[in-house]
Structure formats: structure tokens, C-alpha cells
Amino acid sequence: MSGILHIVYGTQTGTAEELAFDIEKLTKDKGVSCQVFELDDISMDKLQEISKLMIVTSTTGDGEVPDNGLTFWENLSSLTKLNLSNLKYGVLALGDSSHYDFCNAGKIIDDKLKELGANRILDRQECDFDTEGSMEWSEKFLSLI
Ligand SMILES: Cc1cc2nc3c(=O)[nH]c(=O)nc-3n(C[C@H](O)[C@H](O)[C@H](O)COP(=O)(O)O)c2cc1C
């Protein structure tokens, strides 16, 4: 279980969820084990057990984490110490640059995971308005994980 890729999405209106399941299909087609979760499915205890993580999240409100990831973010952001040295991860952020805080949810989660010692294996992809580039980014991520 812990060795499988966890594809974890935060969504407000469904785009990131749909994308997460498209990425699941791509991943399975490549013969890599994976499972899709919502951000709030991931407790801090669970996070410490995961070794491969892809976060796919949109931003809502004024730069906020979507509702199905608020508990995850509250827990993660309140931590100053957590041993995430075994965790390899990447963040695929959806947003819209007409908003002031472009892709902020992806940014703050990415920065916090890094601060807690997790290993970012690929720079964050930020998608503006649509999901262009996300499958190419995912393929690259899968080649590195
Ligand atoms: C009410 C609302 C607020 C939004 N706020 C932001 C924002 O602050 N920053 C940003 O980059 N995108 C913002 N967006 C754009 C969404 O993140 C983007 O459309 C995304 O693709 C939606 O994905 P989802 O359907 O998974 O929630 C907002 C969209 C809506 C509808």
C-alpha cells in the first residue's frame, strides 16, 4: 500500500477530480500501481507512510484550498515537524491567472511539503484556466518516480 503512487486531488467544481482519474488511467496504462484519494482522506499519520505522492489541486475563493482539502491543509500548515524524508512528490496546480493569487493552493501545499523535508521530484506545473500540459507533466513525473 505505502509503495503505490497516491494521486490526491483537491477540487471545488470537479476539474481536478476528473484530471486525477485521467492520470490514474495513464499511470495504470504504464503499469504503475496507484490509487486516487481526496486531499481530506490524507491524515498526517497517513502522509508519513506514503512514499509516492502526486497532488492535483485547484484554487478557490481568494487563493484558498478547495473545500475537500481544508482539513488536510489545516493539519499540514499547523505542523512544524513531520518526518517526510521518505516522501517523493509533485504538485499539479490548476488555477486562473485572472485571479490575484494564481494557483495559490498548489503553491502553499508544495512549499509546506518541501519545508517538512519531502522530496520534490519535479517542479510544480501551473495550469492556467484549463488543464493544458497536465498529461505531459504527469508522464514526466511518472518517469521520475
Ligand atoms: C469562485 C472561484 C474562485 C477562484 N479563485 C481562484 C484563485 O484565487 N486563484 C486561481 O488561480 N484560480 C482561481 N479559480 C480558478 C480555478 O482554480 C480553476 O478554474 C480550476 O481549473 C477549477 O478546478 P476545480 O473544478 O477542480 O475546482 C477560481 C475559480 C472560481 C470559480
What mean pLDDT comes out for the span 132-144? 97
* Domain ranges, ordered by start, for the chain: 5-144
Asked if 134 contacts 19 with a C-beta cutoff of 8 angstroms, the reply is yes
Helix (H, G, I), strand (E, B) or coil at 89: strand
Dump strand ranges (E) for the chain.
Answer: 5-10, 34-38, 52-57, 88-95, 119-120, 125-128
Q: pLDDT tens-digit profile of 7-61? A: 999 999 999 999 999 999 999 999 999 999 999 999 999 999 999 999 999 999 9
C-alpha of residue 135 to centroid of ligand 1, in Å = 19
Architecture label for domain 5-144: 3-Layer(aba) Sandwich (3.40)
Minimum-distance ligand 1 atom for the alpha carbon of 64: 8
Confidence of residue 2 (pLDDT cuts 50, 70, 90): low
Q: Grid coordinates standing for 1?
A: 500500500
d(CA 4, CA 132): 26
Residue 1 pLDDT greater than 90, yes or no: no
Residue 60 CB–ligand 1 contact under 6 Å: yes
C-alpha of residue 59 to centroid of ligand 1, in Å = 5
Q: What pTM was computed for the model?
A: 0.97
* Candidate from 9, 12, 15, 92 with most ligand 1 atoms within 8 A of CB, to mutate: 12
10: β partners: 57
The residue nearest atom 1 of ligand 1, judged by CA position, is 61
Residue 38 CB–ligand 1 contact under 6 Å: no
Residue 98 CB–ligand 1 contact under 6 Å: no
Helix (H, G, I), strand (E, B) or coil at 22: helix
Q: pLDDT tens-digit profile of 10-21? A: 999 999 999 999
